[in-house]
Amino acid sequence: MGHEPRNPDYEAAARESFARQSAMEALGANLVLVEPGRTVIEFVRNERFLQQHGYMHAGAATTIVDSACGYAALSLMKPDAEVVTVEFKVNFIRPCIGEKFRAEGRVVSSGRQLTVCEGEVTNMETGKTIARMQATMMAIETDGTSPG
């Protein structure tokens, strides 16, 4: 889509931030691609995050695609910015059945404070779409301290 990053070190910033996410570590998610306006996270079926029918839980897949959208948005933000999710909507087209999955986040529109993204979760074995996300991300300036 031709997005230009505002932060020349966007990839390093995204990877460093991703490494701090205990949720992504617990889910077994790996950040495999970061480019301006696009991020890909891959994950595998995880016995700790199944629902009652043995599929990956929708909440687990949603968490990962939310992060993919967030890092896609972050790639276009200023160097001193962090990103938080303002809202999202997810449509599940089919159950999260399989062994290997990909969550991709893409920027649709990037503003000074708000960024609109779309995300998709696919089964890597079949190529079929599992879920689609529409998300709004917000840039926040940090003072270098941790929240809380």
Q: What is the residue range of 71's domain?
A: 10-141
Give 56-105 pLDDT, tens digit per residue. Answer: 999 999 999 999 999 999 999 988 889 999 999 999 999 999 999 999 99
Structure tokens, 50? 């199944």
Does residue 118 lie within any of the structural domains? Answer: yes
Please give the Cα distance from 129 to 95 (Å, whole number).
10
How many domains does the chain fold into? 1
Listed in sequence order, the DSSP H helices in the chain are: 10-19, 22-27, 58-74
pLDDT of the residue at 142: 74
Would you tell me how many other CB atoms lie within 10 Å of the CB of residue 137?
A: 28
Q: Has residue 133 been placed in a domain?
A: yes
Tell whether 147 is covered by a domain: no
Has residue 54 been placed in a domain?
yes
Q: Does any domain span residue 104?
A: yes
- Residue 66 forms part of a structural domain: yes
